[in-house]
Structure 1
Amino acid sequence: MLRPLRRPWTCHKCLQLQFRAFESAASSAPRTPFEYVPANNSAPQKKSDDETLRRVFDSQPFWRDFSQRTATAPKRAGLVQNQYLTSPDGFRAFASVSLQKCQAVVAKVLQASTLEEYRAMARNLDRLSDLLCRVIDLSDFIRTIHPDPQLQEAATQAYALMFEYMNVLNTTTGLHDQLNTAMANPEVTSHWTEGEMIVAQILIKDFSNSAIHMPPAERQRFVNLSNDVSQIGSDFMNGAEPARSQVVFSANNLQGMDPLVVRQIKRWNNKAPVPTMGIIPRLALRSVRDEAVRKEVYLATRTSSTRQIHRLERLLMKRAELAQLSGYSSFANMALSDKMAKTPEAVSNFLTSLVSSNQGPVREELLQLQQMKGSSSLQPWDHAYYVHKRVMEYSQSRRSRQLSAIPEFFSLGTVIQGLSRLFDRLYGVRLVPQETSLGETWHPDVRRLDVVDESEQHIAVVYCDLFTRPSKHPNPAHFTLRCSREISAEEIAECASMNQSAHPNDGMATAMDPHTKTLRQLPTIALVCDFQEPRADGTDRPTLLSEHSVRTLFHEMGHAVHSILGQTPLQSISGTRCATDFAELPSVLMESFATAPEVLALYARHWKTDEPLSHEMMCSMALDRTAHGSIYGAVENEAQILMALVDQAYHSIPANALANGIDTTDIYHRVFSRHSSLPDPDDVRPRTSWQGFFGHLYGYGATYYSYIFDRAIANKLWQDVFQSGNAAVDRAAGERYKNEVLRWGGGRNGWQCVAGVLGNDNPSNADGRLVEGGDEAMREVGRWGLGRDGVSG
């Protein structure tokens, strides 16, 4: 029904106690419905809304005035307007009511016997998934973001209860059997929409992943193996450690390194122990002149402890055994079966093709570094050192005062304003600041933006939590708190019969679709970043962003616009709920828009004078990016390709070939010796074992290729759809991309989306080679390459 990222441990007895508390809390559910009022966005206000959008992020005095207009409201709204979440006890009521609705849907599915009841099954199961996600997604977000410990605990309890119930459903054989019965009947499936068929297939896959189709003994073994994988994987991800904690040198041998750092680590006998984890060894590799020192630091920082390597090898063996039990020849075959790639062979085709397309730029970069070093051959421990030298030389000779002034044109408010203007140009939607009700947000700094279309229809809500604060997680992220979905008339009637004040979307954003005349729950999104707040010292200086931060914000808003425009009738395939090797495409593509001259012209203005960013400064920015890309971009790309190749090599080994164990170090060096442009030293014993530091092998097992795969596609779409003919702000290009990619969410095969947006006349899609995917399509994407910016994120 759902594939959550993590599972908290909670004993069954505690869950029973929690459930009793939830049942009692349900009787005190809120009696007053809160109407979700979108911003008043009549056409004459468009210019005013645009200016307000900038000021709510850039001016603290303006924001205080804007946000306090409703502070004296007589009644308290729930978090994100959820009518239950006005207090910690509300989480218990929310989960209890949702659980009751889930049980009613389950009973309906289990009792289905007529043709009409089976035809309704895909939508009923999608609704069941939605009811689970309503609690799990929102509770998981609130428990990590809210500053109130009581609310955190209540949200955690709601999360744990619904997660446990979800696991029960995923092993309920009756649901699996009923869905199989429906799918086996042509009189049922012929009445399903394409989206309903996709949802049914997703749910069957989820059931399969829970071993529901296996006999009891095998199912128990599956559960045990899954638990082993989870525990060992967690230990591996958190247990990265080098074989040696430090390497000791004479302080005199660290010449070139920052003297303050050397003084910090130096001991009384002039010895300077360099730790093998953290920032100091990276500084040493960038700056120490003595090659022998760099070599020793490099080797030590890339050699894992024996204990960590043992964890990895146990993880791989357990995964292969799990795949074999599930009927797959390898874990990669199992993990890729519902992805665009489909098979490990196809991923290998993509990656080896990408190696070839990246080889020319890599040779250019390494040749320049080799010329800097001189006669002796360039080694892996030389790369960071000579790259740093080149960057410093470039900085001294080419960087100008203009570049240092760039952030003055990127106040947070102007960037958000630019995003709204870009979306208006491309897709006919814009962002409008909206006052929040008392209790609606989890922190006073959170801004709410309503998304409206050209007919002034309210289509989504975005909560922006963009400023730093103590204990807040610093990583930028996009969260879908509520997916888009059609709400049936039956649900509305059912809700009214349960409680007169109940809302069919729990009080959260809804709108009537003007075309289908159906009620929709609107996507509700949270964007989280960690920018400094605007100054409140009387200078009115706003938050100023570096170019990197601008690209980060565009990236996260790329996920958001996928959620906003991917409004499907079924929540299981709405927005970003698509194949994981397709999910990053909209966000990666958005990074290219951030600094395109046509887009910069929409928004980049000096925070104080309102002077636009000059053409000369845009050229300086572009020259700077090109220079840095030519220094290290291709080698950075190659490093990511190599890691993806290692990931595939590990997870493609058949289970029966692992009977005598696995030597991950040998495999790692075989991949690097074959594909790395820098030499892989084979005269060092013991050989390095960097794979022990590759924590993503657990979370992204067999799918680490996904990000660079989407980068290659995004690079192609940018060049052929948006950059061609300066179409970065062209409505026709935006509509083409929206209609072929964004609006489908996960309701269309990713290959069809890519082929559709490129068009039949594109040489890369000759003879329709992309539509069906497969080995040749994967090779073709590899030929497109990754550009020269280096992998971000």
Structure 2
Amino acid sequence: MTSSDVNRPSNPLLASWATPFGIPPFESIAPEHYRPAFDAAIAEQQAEIDAIAGNAETPTFANTIEAMERSGATLKRVGGVFFNLAGSHTNDAIQAVEREMAPRLAKHRNSIFMNEALFRRVDALHRNRDDLGLSPEQARVLDRYHTIFVRAGARLGPQDKQRLAEITERLAALGTQFSQNVLADEKAYRLVLETEEDLAGLPSFLREAAAQAAADCGLPGKYVITLSRSSIEPFLQFSSRRDLRERAFKAWASRGEGGGATDNTAIVAEMVRLRAERAKLLGYETFADFKLADTMAKTPAAVLALLNEVWGPARRRAMQERDDLQAHAQAKGDNIVIEPWDWRYYAEQVRIAKHDLDEAAIKPYFQLERIVEAAFETANRLFGLRFEELQDFPRYHPDIRAWKVTGGDGALVGIFIGDYFARASKRSGAWMSAFRSQEKLTGNIRPIIVNVMNFSKGGPGEPSLLSFDDARTLFHEFGHALHGLLSDVTYPLLAGTSVSTDFVELPSQLYEHWLSQPEILRRYATHAKTGEPIPETLLKRLTDARNFNQGFATVEYLASAFVDIDFHRLVDPGNVDVAAFERASLERIGMPGEIIMRHRTPHFTHVFSGDGYSSGYYSYLWSEVLDADAFNAFEETGNAFDRDTAEKLKWYIYSAGNLRDPADAYRAFRGRLPTAEALLAKRGLTAPGSEEA
């Protein structure tokens, strides 16, 4: 294909976008457009990088760092569209492009950050940084670029560079295959329910969602449970058919280890081995040492100290919870020993007995539409944002929605896209991403931010109902969205969520706190049928039960974090037996047999679908230490929406991107760094043996 072919205006990814607010023209983009667009974009940036590296002039911040920041605009645009759709609305053609492009893009990145001439220019600037008259933001950008180059292998000799390049390209290919295997297993499974006996125990909202899932699968008149968390978790919670619970749970737990083409165990073993080799090439003893050096935690020892501090209280609480479940089952006359597929079922019954709180009674008060409005109202009260829904804009799926976001002065802040429902073309989980990030280097570029969820869709004419956990997930991801929308930096490298993994969860987890504020719940938790607000008695019971089953929730999370860090602390993994290593890691911490990891290794996409959270799943807990303390800053004022505190939060956290070291950013907001005490109190784990708050 000639260069004129690749740059032809008929490729919508390469043409100008005359769309509302520059939203990608999704309806015009076909899978065959991606390869030529990537070809053109990579070639364009390579030429830009070659010009910077080959510049005969003395390196300056403008002709080197700013020039790099301006490079790759087309690649960012193409990649932003492609990788968002590869996660949220994929197909066989897109997956084929993804498998091809993952190692190619890794190779392209290596060609930039292992470029000797380019690194000499960056290194020279870094050595003389105190004499360049840089602004604080420019100094931060220079420092981050230097760190990225060094961690990418810029200082290695030719042979080591070549080997490191081979490793990163292979890891990119493996991560893509891992993710696609998990999606294939999730897509292939459906538990079809046909008789009233199959539906025993299921409340109306779950029956309606299962009927809609069946219709989506081409099975009208039947009911389908999928491996989407919003489908299977309530099934495990309510189904009185223990045999069906066991069957569905085992399918859920064994994603990625079916022994066939989608089995991920060999992929995990190779990735762990290659990551360890990568770390050694870069001068670190283990991959965990390498990965954590550029985070708030800094070392595996600091991570393990936090995990161990919380593990003891959490495990003790979980064992008390197990005993309660076992006693309840026996009192009912169920002659069973609690197994993992029983936990949610009996926990729901114990919650009703202890707190008079029935999920089936709660769920009608949590309508998706109203919780979206609650998230917007919270953003308005904290940050002065307003949301106007768009009706006419390009969509990649009929279900997506979009809002124009403006500030208190009426100026455009950005565009927010919501993609809320589970479907076979979407990977599981919930996440925030950007089709376009904020920056001011090339103009006043406003962000286009998307939240992707996997909620069960209500039937025709019926509202989509959320569990309280679903509602919390929506607030969590919207916290990430605000981190992207409120970004106010000049340089793209520092924009929005471009911060360390153990800091990036602070804005999202902190935002969850506002969902639980009584004034928000009173206004937005309204009954789907009657429109009545949630009764005060039910609101109190919901608040009183906020730490119910917290031992279980903390243990299943911590187990995953321990296994992640243990894999990556291996000095010489060899051909590690993945299943045996997972078992040994769990045995070491005394994992209760009635609970499994929240994400077992063969489907642990946080850690193995890419490098994002490798050695970093602890980040949610690390950030929770921060968020529990940060919300205390509001509570200390007596007003959860205190304007002065919110302004500091916006300035130092939500809008600041990576302008500062994370620890400095938190100190600037709070005046000090926190301890784990606020986190233990938030989870109700401060006093072993105490009842839920």
How high is the TM-score relative to the length of structure 2? 0.74
Instruction: Give per-residue Cα distances to partners, 1:536-593, cap 9 Å, x unaligned.
Output: 65xxx54343323322221221111010112211111111111112222222222222
Residue identity matched to 2:590: S
Alignment of 1:463-502 (within 5 A): 463-467=417-421, 471-473=425-427, 475-488=429-442
C-alpha contact 2:175 2:608 (8 A) present in aligned 1: yes
- Structure 2 SS opposite 1:431: strand
Counterpart in the other structure of 1:202: 144
Whether 1:528 and 2:427 are equivalent positions in the alignment is no
Q: How many Å separate the matches in 2 of 1:744 and 1:734?
A: 14
C-alpha contact 1:91 1:155 (8 A) present in aligned 2: no
Counterpart in the other structure of 1:121: 64
Alignment of 1:139-288 (within 5 A): 139-142=82-85, 145=88, 165-186=108-129, 190-227=132-169, 229=171
Whether 1:675 and 2:601 are equivalent positions in the alignment is no
- Structure 2 SS opposite 1:582: helix
How high is the TM-score relative to the length of structure 1? 0.66
Q: How many Å separate the matches in 2 of 1:231 and 1:560?
A: 28
Work out which of the residue numbers 726, 733, 750 in structure 1 matches 2:645.
Answer: 733
Work out which of the residue numbers 379, 387, 411 in structure 2 matches 1:457.
Answer: 411
Q: How many Å separate the matches in 2 of 1:743 and 1:117?
A: 28
Work out which of the residue numbers 102, 108, 117 in structure 1 matches 2:45.
Answer: 102
Q: How many Å separate the matches in 2 of 1:587 and 1:725?
A: 21
- Structure 1 SS opposite 2:503: coil
Instruction: Give per-residue Cα distances to partners, 1:244-265, cap 9 Å, x unaligned.
Output: xxxxxxxxxxxxxx98599xxx
Aligned pair in 2 of structure 1 residues 92, 745: CA closer, same or farther (>3 Å)?
Answer: same
When structure 1 is superposed on structure 2, of 96-105 and 549-558 the one drifting more is 96-105
Residue identity matched to 1:80: P
- Structure 2 SS opposite 1:433: strand
Aligned pair in 2 of structure 1 residues 677, 373: CA closer, same or farther (>3 Å)?
Answer: farther
Q: How many Å separate the matches in 1 of 2:590 and 2:162?
A: 43
Aligned pair in 2 of structure 1 residues 643, 353: CA closer, same or farther (>3 Å)?
Answer: same
Whether 1:577 and 2:577 are equivalent positions in the alignment is no
* Structure 1 gap ranges (5+): 1-16, 38-77, 241-257, 263-276, 489-518, 682-689, 771-779
Work out which of the residue numbers 383, 402, 420 in structure 1 matches 2:376.
Answer: 420
Whether 1:389 and 2:346 are equivalent positions in the alignment is yes
Counterpart in the other structure of 2:569: 652
Aligned pair in 2 of structure 1 residues 727, 81: CA closer, same or farther (>3 Å)?
Answer: farther
- Structure 2 SS opposite 1:566: coil
C-alpha contact 1:36 1:81 (8 A) present in aligned 2: no
C-alpha contact 2:458 2:464 (8 A) present in aligned 1: yes
1:158 shift after superposition: 9.3
Q: How many Å separate the matches in 1 of 2:527 and 2:680?
A: 35
Work out which of the residue numbers 576, 593, 615 in structure 2 matches 1:702.
Answer: 615
Matched pairs, number: 624
Counterpart in the other structure of 1:784: 679
Q: How many Å separate the matches in 1 of 2:46 and 2:254?
A: 53
C-alpha contact 1:21 1:92 (8 A) present in aligned 2: no
When structure 1 is superposed on structure 2, of 323-332 and 350-359 the one drifting more is 350-359
Instruction: Give per-residue Cα distances to partners, 1:310-341, cap 9 Å, x unaligned.
Output: 76555433332221122111111111121111
C-alpha contact 1:637 1:786 (8 A) present in aligned 2: no
Q: How many Å separate the matches in 2 of 1:95 and 1:560?
A: 27
Aligned pair in 2 of structure 1 residues 482, 351: CA closer, same or farther (>3 Å)?
Answer: same
Aligned pair in 2 of structure 1 residues 465, 287: CA closer, same or farther (>3 Å)?
Answer: closer
Q: How many Å separate the matches in 1 of 2:90 and 2:264?
A: 35
Instruction: Give per-residue Cα distances to partners, 1:704-754, cap 9 Å, x unaligned.
Output: 212222233223323x12344553333233223212211111222222233
Residue identity matched to 1:358: A
Aligned pair in 2 of structure 1 residues 722, 351: CA closer, same or farther (>3 Å)?
Answer: same
C-alpha contact 1:717 1:758 (8 A) present in aligned 2: yes
Whether 1:80 and 2:24 are equivalent positions in the alignment is yes
- Structure 2 SS opposite 1:521: coil
1:217 shift after superposition: 2.1
Residue identity matched to 1:527: N
Counterpart in the other structure of 1:612: 533
Whether 1:603 and 2:524 are equivalent positions in the alignment is yes
- Structure 2 SS opposite 1:648: helix
State which structure, 1 or 2, has the greater radius of gyration over its C-alpha atoms: 1
Residue identity matched to 2:18: F
Counterpart in the other structure of 1:593: 514
1:636 shift after superposition: 3.0
Q: How many Å separate the matches in 2 of 1:86 and 1:696?
A: 28
Q: Percent identity?
A: 21
Q: How many Å separate the matches in 2 of 1:165 and 1:308?
A: 26
Q: How many Å separate the matches in 1 of 2:90 and 2:341?
A: 40
Counterpart in the other structure of 1:13: none
Q: How many Å separate the matches in 1 of 2:648 and 2:465?
A: 33
Instruction: Give per-residue Cα distances to partners, 1:648-676, cap 9 Å, x unaligned.
Output: 23322334xx68x7677776566545532
Aligned pair in 2 of structure 1 residues 155, 138: CA closer, same or farther (>3 Å)?
Answer: farther
Relative contact order, higher structure (CA 8 A, sep 6+)? 1
Whether 1:559 and 2:469 are equivalent positions in the alignment is no
Q: How many Å separate the matches in 2 of 1:310 and 1:31?
A: 42
Residue identity matched to 1:698: F
C-alpha contact 1:380 1:680 (8 A) present in aligned 2: no
1:387 shift after superposition: 6.5
Q: How many Å separate the matches in 2 of 1:365 and 1:476?
A: 28
Q: How many Å separate the matches in 1 of 2:269 and 2:625?
A: 31
Aligned pair in 2 of structure 1 residues 225, 148: CA closer, same or farther (>3 Å)?
Answer: closer
Counterpart in the other structure of 1:14: none
